């Protein structure tokens, strides 16, 4: 396999001021094109560290991609160091200078003189054109290795990857790309990591020499399958085999694959069944309707919702009986049911969903601890509420409650 290393340069990355999203982006592109990202290094604007990394790359990596340190100011060290390391010299490229001048002219700005330096590139390099900025990318080949330097500005770097870098890499390594890496992620919710692990059982017998990773979050556990095949279709076949075995064991918890969102899945189901939805939220305070309306076109099936933070609103607005609130409390099966029924009728939708719980940190008691949540569902044929406990962290239990509402809807709609 053709392995790759990404070197991200910049003090702002090191001290945690900026999150390094460039390396994830680059690696996802490399990986999906059959290259194997093995390492990401973040270092400061520091000559010694970069030279050591170039040495390491010469020994261990076929592809090295450097981002950052290519701008026009004093702390931009990448170009001089590449020149030094490869015993090269900088030459002025008139075509780049012309491009940079135009870049400023188009914006009605004078070109600062420092930008002439942008047109200087190592004599033995190829140029990767930067259509979104003034610093060109640099492509250096050294026998069977490639070194690529690009600016750290995501908007500039991404266009260079899309337009040229991946294509150039595939050309360079065409004779060796005789395999395909593929991955697929199965998205589960409503089950914890260790229970999921147990239910799946002997993983080795399912995946063979391929890989599977468990990636937990408050939204659920993602299962990522990574396989290598001789061809696209072989890799697809292997993935399908593994996926089938996993689904036969824990299929009921899988709501989607790859980047799908549960709110998208639920929206598609509502659309398919020709149903409309309204929501009544207490503890989640609008996050559920926020998730539902994240999806463009959700107005086709979503009428709206209420956030009933006070009891007055619950009774005055949704028609939850005062007796119910008195006898059972706002956080109860009965209230959740009346909320779901109330919102469905008030908004005239085919289904209504409600959620009421103790988000915390205050408000918990022994019998009703923080995290206790009831989710109610109502349509014309039934009305019920389920009890959950989502733990004692306010932020997380709100996220988990919203996910559980959507998952309950998914299950209901699948049965329609």
CA 294-298-299 angle, to 5 degrees, is 125
Interatomic CA distance for residues 400 and 186, integer angstroms: 18
Interatomic CA distance for residues 89 and 86, integer angstroms: 9
Write down the residue that tokens 């290393």 correspond to.
5
Asked if 12 interacts with its own copies (CB under 8 A), we say yes
Asked if 393 interacts with its own copies (CB under 8 A), we say yes
Asked if 364 interacts with its own copies (CB under 8 A), we say no
Burial 353-372 (b: 16+ CB within 10 A, else e): bbbbbbbbeeebeeeeebbb
Asked if 289 interacts with its own copies (CB under 8 A), we say yes
Q: How far is the CB of 337 from its own copies (least distance, A)?
A: 19
Q: Is 116 in a helix, a strand, or coil?
A: helix
- Cβ distance to its own copies smaller for residue 126 or 396: 396
CA 403 vs CA 195, 217, 306: distances in Å: 18, 11, 18
Task: Give every CB contact of residue 74 below 8 A, 6+ residues apart in sequence.
Answer: none
> Looking at 1, 21, 92, 386, which residue binds its own copies (CB under 8 A)?
21
> Looking at 45, 164, 264, 379, which residue binds its own copies (CB under 8 A)?
45
- Whether residue 317 has a cis bond before it, omega within 30° of 0: no
Asked if 209 interacts with its own copies (CB under 8 A), we say no
Token pair of 12, please?
Answer: 């702002």
> Looking at 2, 41, 262, 340, which residue binds its own copies (CB under 8 A)?
41
Q: How far is the CB of 415 from its own copies (least distance, A)?
A: 25
> Looking at 164, 243, 264, 281, which residue binds its own copies (CB under 8 A)?
281
- Cβ distance to its own copies smaller for residue 13 or 408: 13
First to last CA, the chain: 48
Interatomic CA distance for residues 47 and 30, integer angstroms: 27
Asked if 384 interacts with its own copies (CB under 8 A), we say no
Q: How far is the CB of 1 from its own copies (least distance, A)?
A: 12
Asked if 153 interacts with its own copies (CB under 8 A), we say yes
Asked if 362 interacts with its own copies (CB under 8 A), we say yes
Asked if 37 interacts with its own copies (CB under 8 A), we say yes
Q: How far is the CB of 183 from its own copies (least distance, A)?
A: 7
Total of chain residues touching its own copies, rule CB under 8 A: 109
Identify residues 122-141 at the interface with its own copies (CB under 8 A): 132, 134
> Looking at 83, 96, 306, 401, which residue binds its own copies (CB under 8 A)?
306
Interatomic CA distance for residues 235 and 273, integer angstroms: 34
Q: Stretches 35-43, 91-99, 229-237, 243-251: which one binds its own copies (CB under 8 A)? A: 35-43
Interatomic CA distance for residues 329 and 191, integer angstroms: 28
> Looking at 214, 328, 333, 416, which residue binds its own copies (CB under 8 A)?
214
Closest CA to 185 of 231, 230, 246, 232: 246
Q: Is 255 in a helix, a strand, or coil?
A: strand
Compute the residue count for the chain.
Answer: 416
Q: How far is the CB of 87 from its own copies (least distance, A)?
A: 26
Q: How far is the CB of 344 from its own copies (least distance, A)?
A: 13
Asked if 319 interacts with its own copies (CB under 8 A), we say no
CB 66 within 8 A of CB 147: yes
Q: Stretches 137-145, 233-241, 266-274, 307-315: which one binds its own copies (CB under 8 A)? A: 307-315
What H or E segment, with its residue span, contains residue 153? none
Asked if 279 interacts with its own copies (CB under 8 A), we say yes
Asked if 389 interacts with its own copies (CB under 8 A), we say yes
- Cβ distance to its own copies smaller for residue 274 or 362: 362
Write down the residue that tokens 């709110």 correspond to.
263
> Looking at 55, 395, 411, 414, which residue binds its own copies (CB under 8 A)?
395
Asked if 48 interacts with its own copies (CB under 8 A), we say no
What H or E segment, with its residue span, contains residue 318? helix 311-318
Identify residues 94-113 at the interface with its own copies (CB under 8 A): 107-109, 112-113
Asked if 228 interacts with its own copies (CB under 8 A), we say no
- List beta partners, residue 382: none
Identify residues 65-84 at the interface with its own copies (CB under 8 A): 71-75
CB 373 within 8 A of CB 379: no
Asked if 166 interacts with its own copies (CB under 8 A), we say no
Interatomic CA distance for residues 216 and 213, integer angstroms: 10
Identify residues 235-274 at the interface with its own copies (CB under 8 A): none
- List beta partners, residue 222: 187, 215
């Amino acid at each position: 396999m053709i392995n790759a290393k990404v070197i991200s340069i910049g003090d702002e990355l090191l001290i945690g001021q900026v999150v390094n999203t460039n390396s994830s982006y680059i690696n996802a592109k490399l990986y999906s094109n059959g290259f194997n990202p093995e390492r990401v290094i973040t270092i400061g604007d520091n000559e010694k560290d970069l030279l050591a990394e170039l040495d390491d790359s010469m020994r261990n990596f076929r592809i090295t991609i450097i981002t950052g340190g290519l701008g026009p100011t004093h702390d931009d060290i990448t170009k001089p160091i590449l020149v030094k390391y490869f015993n090269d010299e900088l030459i002025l490229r008139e075509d780049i200078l012309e491009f940079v001048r135009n870049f400023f002219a188009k914006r009605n700005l004078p070109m600062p003189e420092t930008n002439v330096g942008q047109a200087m590139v190592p004599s033995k390099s190829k140029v990767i054109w930067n259509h979104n900025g003034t610093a060109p990318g640099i492509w250096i080949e050294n026998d069977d290795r490639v070194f690529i330097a690009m600016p750290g500005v995501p908007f500039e770097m991404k266009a260079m990857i899309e337009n040229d870098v991946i294509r150039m890499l595939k050309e360079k390594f065409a004779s060796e790309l005789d395999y395909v890496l593929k991955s697929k992620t199965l998205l589960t919710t409503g089950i914890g990591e260790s229970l999921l692990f147990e239910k799946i059982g002997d993983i080795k017998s399912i995946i063979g020499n391929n890989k599977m990773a468990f990636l937990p979050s408050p939204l659920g556990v993602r299962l990522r399958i990574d396989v290598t095949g001789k061809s696209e279709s072989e890799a697809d076949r292997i993935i399908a085999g593994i996926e089938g075995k996993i689904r036969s064991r824990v299929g009921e918890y899988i709501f989607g694959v790859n980047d799908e969102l549960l709110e998208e899945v639920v929206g598609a189901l509502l659309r398919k069944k020709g149903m409309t939805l309204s929501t009544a939220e207490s503890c989640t305070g609008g996050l559920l309707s926020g998730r539902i309306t994240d999806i463009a076109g959700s107005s086709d099936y979503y009428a709206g919702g209420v956030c009933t933070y006070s009891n007055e609103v619950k009774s005055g607005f949704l028609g939850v009986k005062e007796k119910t609130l008195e006898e059972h409390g706002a956080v109860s099966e009965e209230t959740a049911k009346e909320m779901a029924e109330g919102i469905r009728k008030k908004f005239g939708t085919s289904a209504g969903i409600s959620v009421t719980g103790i988000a915390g940190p205050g408000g918990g008691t022994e019998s009703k601890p923080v995290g206790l949540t009831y989710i109610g569902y109502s349509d014309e044929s039934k009305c019920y509420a389920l009890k959950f406990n989502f733990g004692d962290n306010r932020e997380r239990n709100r996220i988990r409650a919203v996910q559980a509402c959507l998952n309950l809807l998914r299950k209901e709609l699948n049965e329609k």
